[in-house]
Amino acid sequence: MSDATLSESSQQRGRGRRPAPLWQAGEVVEVIVETPETSSLRIQLPQPEPFLPGQYYNIRIPIDGRPRPIQRAYSVGSSPHPYFDVIEVGVKEMEGGLVSPVLVRQRPVGSILEVRGPYGAFTWTDEDGGPVLLIGAGSGVVPLMAMIRYQVSRGTTVPMHLLFSSKSSEYVIYRDELAVLTTEHTWLHVTHTFTREASNSMARYHRRIDKEMVGEVFAETAPRLAYLCGPPEMVDDCERSLLELGMESEKIKTEKYD
């Protein structure tokens, strides 16, 4: 199924003409182990809906001792172009969490998952333009990757700079794919920072994202748009830094994983 009707469809939803999404039984058709704590699940949808890069789906699963299934939000990491009948979600296992450990460890190929979506206004397409500064920490890279993959798939060349914070090289989600994409596409720049690995040349920085770091990538990118995704505190700090650097608030989009 193609995304030919994607813009029209999202406009219709914006005007409230589309019905609310319904729960559907998706089948896990592939599991990709990204890092020791994160897996991507590729889910075949029986009733696919056009979606925009950056949007998310809700997933609910039964939990022992709970009267009703427990639901969580997961961003789609795959591009809706050229096909959107299989969505890929990237799930990081949260220690002690109810849903994410089950999705990462106990939903092999062939499992059925209840999913509902798409949702969210944290979206980018080439029509939005750029240059675009993408800032993500941990699994916050997932919707940003959908934007990158969308541009790759469509063949557009809007400049994008991803500032990506991970614990260490072993914990970089999409590590190999990002490395290949940066060699193949001059519009894509990736800057890694590692918070728990002091000396690895893959990373330009070895600390948490801070104001100085944001200032440096901001100066290099001259962004017209910024997309920030990850833990709420990191997103708030980065937004404050960008505002202090003179970026207008309506040019900054945020998605907080709380």
Ligand X SMILES: Cc1cc2nc3c(=O)[nH]c(=O)nc-3n(C[C@H](O)[C@H](O)[C@H](O)COP(=O)(O)OP(=O)(O)OC[C@H]3O[C@@H](n4cnc5c(N)ncnc54)[C@H](O)[C@@H]3O)c2cc1C
**Cβ 226 vs Cβ 246: under 8 Å:** no
Q: Which is nearer to ligand X, 61 or 218 (CB)?
A: 61
Give the residue among 122, 167, 127 at the shortest CA–CA distance from 145: 122
Residue bearing tokens 């089950």: 102
Q: Measuring CA to CA, which residue among 77, 217, 223, 254 is closest to residue 159?
A: 223
The minimum distance between CB 138 and ligand X, in angstroms, equals 8
Whole-number minimum distance, CB 84 to ligand X, in Å? Answer: 17
| Three-state secondary structure call for residue 99 | coil
97 is a site residue for ligand X (CB under 6 A) = yes
Binders of ligand X in range 28-87 (CB under 6 A)? 56, 72-75
38: closest CA among 162, 170, 135, 228? 170
Q: Are 254 and 235 in contact (CB under 8 A)?
A: yes
Residue 103 or residue 217: which is nearer to ligand X going by CB? 103
Instruction: Tell the smallest beta-carbon distance from residue 163 to ligand X (Å).
Output: 18
Which residue in the set 16, 96, 108, 110 belongs to the binding site for ligand X (CB under 6 A)?
A: 96
Contact between 149 and ligand X per CB under 6 A: no
Size of the site for ligand X (CB under 6 A): 19
For the chain, give the longest Cα–Cα distance.
53
Residue ranges in contact with ligand X by CB under 6 A: 56, 72-75, 90-92, 94-100, 139, 142, 255, 257
